[in-house]
Amino acid sequence: MTQTPQQARIRIFDTTLRDGEQSPGVALNHGQKLEIAHQLARLGVDVIEAGFPIASPGDLEGVSRIAREVRGPVIAGLARAGRADIEAAARAVEAADKPRIHTFIATSPIHMARKLNLEPDAVVERAVEAVRLARSFVDDVEFSAEDATRSDWAFLARIFRAAAEAGATTLNVPDTVGYTTPAEMRALFAHLKAELPEHVILSAHCHDDLGLAVANSIAAAEGGARQIECTVNGIGERAGNASLEEIVMAFHTRGDVYGFQTGIRTRELYRASRLVSRLSGMPVQPNKAIVGDNAFAHESGIHQDGVLKARETYEIMQAELVGREAAVLVMGKHSGRAAFRKALTDLGYALEEDRVGPLFARFKDLADRKGQVSADDLRALVDSRSDVPQTFALEGFQITSGMNMTPVAFVRLKTPDGSAEATAHGDGPVEAAFQAIGRLTGISPVLESYRIQAVTGGGDAVGEVSIGARYGEISLHGTGVATDVVEASARAWLRIVNQVVAGMGKSRQVTQASV
C-alpha cells in the first residue's frame, strides 16, 4: 500500500513465538520456531518476540538460534524486571542484527498487592533498575506495564516516564486480561501521549477475553499507539491475542477511515496462517476473518449471483491479496520435475534440491491416486515435509476392518536395520496402525489430541491429520497428509516417533510469562 502524507506508520510486533506459544497444548521445537520466524520475516513484521529466554535452557537456545539466523526484523527476548531474566535475554539476542530486550513489571493495584507484594514506589524503582540494566546490553529496550488497563492512569504515566528517562525506547500498554473497551483504550493512549516524551513509541498488547482485542488495538492506534503487538491467527493464552492478519487487513482495507499503514506483505498472510496452524496444532475456525476456509466462500444464491456479476458486491477484498490464489493450479501424473519445481516456486516456496526430490516422489504417488493435483494439494505436501531426522519411514500398510470385526493393521517401515514389518489389533484402524508402529519402533507415546480436516475438496480430497502426544514429560506434535486417513495418521505418528528418537519436543515444566 503506497504511503500518503495522511498515513501514519504502525509497527507490527509479532509475539506468536512467545505469547502465542503459551497457548495450552502448543509445543514448538527449535526447528519449528525457526521456520515460523523465517516466515514472519518474509511477512514483513517489524519485531519478532522470539521467546522468554529465562524459561528454560531450551527456550534460550531457541531465541539465540533465531537471533543468529533470521535477518530483517528486530529480534526481542522477554524478561521480567530482574537481573537473571535480563541477562538471559541479553545472551539470547546478542547475535541479532537488531536486538531488543523487552522487560516488564505489573502495575495494577491488584497485581502489585497480591502478586508482587510491593508498594508502588518499589515497583517504579524496580522498573527503572531493569530498564537501566537492559540498556547496558542493547540500545533498543521496551518496557511493559503488565495489566496496564486496570492500572491507575496517573501511576501508569509516572512509571512510563521513569522508564523512558532510564532509557526505554518503546512503552507498551498491555490489556493483559482482555478487560478494557475501545473507548477506554483510545482515551488512555491519548492521555499517555500527552503526558510522555514525544520520542518514545507507544505500543498496545491486547488479549481477546471479551472478543475485543482487534478493536482495542485499532482504538489504541487512534489514540496514539505506533506499535501493535499481535499473533498470527490470534493464538495465545486463554481466548488468545489480537489477530495480526485482522489488524493489518483492517488498516489496509479501510485506510480511508484509519489512515494507518504497515510494512506487512499481505500476500504472505495466508501462508503464515497455515504454517502456524500446522506447527502449533491449533486449527483455524472456518469462519475466521481473512484466513478461515469460509472467509471468501459464498453459499447463498443471492450472494453467488452478485459475486459472479461483480466481486465487489460481496467481497470487500480479494482473496489473492492475502495469498489465497483464486485460480486453481492443476498438476497431474504426467507432470515432470521441472514443472513441479516451477509450481512450487509460483506458490512462493524456495526449496533446496535435496528437499525437492522426496516431495516430487510423494507428488507422483498422489497424482497416481488423484489424477489432478491442485495448488492446495501441493501446499499440503510442502507443509507436511519433515524437518525431523527420518529414523523410521513408512513404506507400506494395509488395514482390515469392517462391521463386527476387530481392525487389524499391517505396517512396513524403513528402519536403521532395513525394512521391518508388524501386525497389530486395535479398537479402530488408526489405533491398530499406531500399535503396529509401536511394535516396530519400541516407542509408544501417549495420544492427547487428534484432529483431521480436509485440505482440498472432492471425494479424493487430501486429508491432514494433526496429533498431539506426550512422551514422559515431553509434549510433541505431528502432522501427516494423504488421501487415506489411516496413512495420514500413520505419517503424523511417525513424525512424533522420530522426534522422540531425535530428542526433540518441549518440556511441560517451563516458566510462563504474561504481559
Question: Binding site for Mn(2+): what residues are annotated?
Answer: 19, 205, 207, 241
Q: Is 98 helix (H, G, I), strand (E, B) or coil?
A: coil
Distance, CA of 327 to CA of 320 (rounded, Å): 9
Given a contact cutoff of 8 angstroms between Cβ atoms, the answer to whether 49 and 267 are in contact is no
| CB within 8 Å of 358: residues ≥ 6 apart | 385
Reference 333, options 294, 300, 360, 357; nearest CA is: 360
Reference 188, options 147, 241, 229; nearest CA is: 147
Burial class from Cβ neighbours inside 10 Å (0-12, 13-18, 19+) for residue 438 reads: middle
Strand 201-206 and strand 474-482: the pairing is unpaired
| CB within 8 Å of 338: residues ≥ 6 apart | none
| CB within 8 Å of 371: residues ≥ 6 apart | 332, 333, 460
Residues forming the annotated binding site? 19, 205, 207, 241
Distance, CA of 135 to CA of 103 (rounded, Å): 11
Reference 242, options 270, 214, 273; nearest CA is: 214
What's CA 338's distance to the chain center, in Å?
32
Q: Is 476 helix (H, G, I), strand (E, B) or coil?
A: strand
End-to-end CA distance of the chain: 31
C-alpha R_g of the chain: 25
Burial class from Cβ neighbours inside 10 Å (0-12, 13-18, 19+) for residue 508 reads: exposed
